[in-house]
């Protein structure tokens, strides 16, 4: 079982290169991040080379968070801005050694114009990513935390992946979000496994370390391995008392395999 540290939530008191080094010291097998744009790509690449870790993914810029933005790709009146941010993310990923770009949809009315816009922008993102051998991810996000998010369920994500039929496009399945929205994680993961590019975990409902709450990851993660999942498990949780203090869950899950 391979674990990836999400540096948007873990080791956040450190610069991104130092957080990569801390993730290596903490026992993680890979890293991922949210918005690395303040770190010059060569600095990230150097830290990855020093540690031998892979940077699995990053997000497109979400827009003006203070104004309520949480992504741009499904907003019909902001296509130019969305495509500029997709290009910036792909260029950064290619330069820094990041393997996938998560294209953030944003908050919409859920109507056909937003869906058409999202799909067109995803096609554009796949065109750009394909030139660099990168993947594009879409992530259903729960509407309790992000009200009005355009993509909030796996059936919707699956339709997009099926309809666009782009080999670059995969689903990022966050167990925290989908437990809130749908439940039935084991069956859903088994059904979607060929279309999944990455899986993330956190406790539900508090989004802390994945060692308590509604989801028994001590059962679910070995079940995923038995199903044939060979990717990393992304630790995208908010530490309850500091990153290092809460890492015992990872050693316990590895021992339980």
| Residue 236 annotated among the catalytic residues of the structure | yes
Instruction: Name the DSSP class of 33.
Output: -
In this structure, the number of other CB atoms found within 10 A of the CB of residue 78 comes to 18
Positive or negative: CA dihedral 144, 19, 172, 175 = negative
Q: Which of 85, 99, 139, 168 is catalytic?
A: 139
Cα separation, 256 vs 248, in Å, equals 13
| Residue 244 annotated among the catalytic residues of the structure | no
Cα separation, 26 vs 43, in Å, equals 20
β-pairing, 100-102 vs 135-138, is: parallel
Q: Is the separation of the CB atoms in 146 and 180 below 8 Å?
A: no
Q: Which of 85, 99, 209, 236 is catalytic?
A: 236
Active site residues: 139, 236
């Amino acid at each position: 079982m391979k674990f990836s540290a999400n540096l948007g939530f873990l080791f956040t008191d450190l610069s991104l290169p130092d957080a990569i080094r801390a993730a290596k010291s903490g026992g993680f097998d890979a890293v991922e991040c949210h918005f690395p744009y303040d770190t010059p790509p060569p600095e990230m690449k150097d830290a990855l080379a020093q540690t031998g870790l892979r940077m699995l993914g990053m997000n497109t810029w979400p827009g003006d968070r203070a104004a309520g933005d949480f992504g741009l790709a499904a907003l019909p009146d902001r296509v130019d801005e969305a495509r500029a941010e997709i290009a910036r993310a792909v260029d950064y990923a290619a330069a820094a050694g990041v393997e996938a770009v998560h294209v953030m949809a944003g908050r919409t009315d859920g109507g056909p114009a937003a869906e058409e816009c999202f799909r067109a922008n995803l096609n554009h993102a796949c065109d750009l990513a394909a030139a660099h051998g990168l993947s594009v991810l879409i992530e259903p996000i729960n509407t309790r935390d992000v009200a009005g998010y355009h993509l909030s369920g796996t059936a919707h994500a699956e339709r997009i992946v099926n309809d666009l039929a782009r080999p670059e496009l995969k689903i990022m399945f966050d167990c925290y979000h989908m437990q809130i929205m749908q439940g039935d994680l084991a069956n859903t993961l088994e059904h979607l496994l060929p279309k999944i590019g990455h899986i993330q975990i956190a406790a539900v409902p508090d989004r802390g370390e994945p060692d308590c709450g509604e989801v028994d990851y001590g059962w679910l993660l070995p079940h995923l391995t038995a199903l044939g999942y060979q990717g990393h498990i992304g630790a995208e949780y908010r530490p309850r008392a500091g990153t290092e203090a809460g890492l015992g869950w990872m050693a316990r899950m590895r021992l339980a395999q």
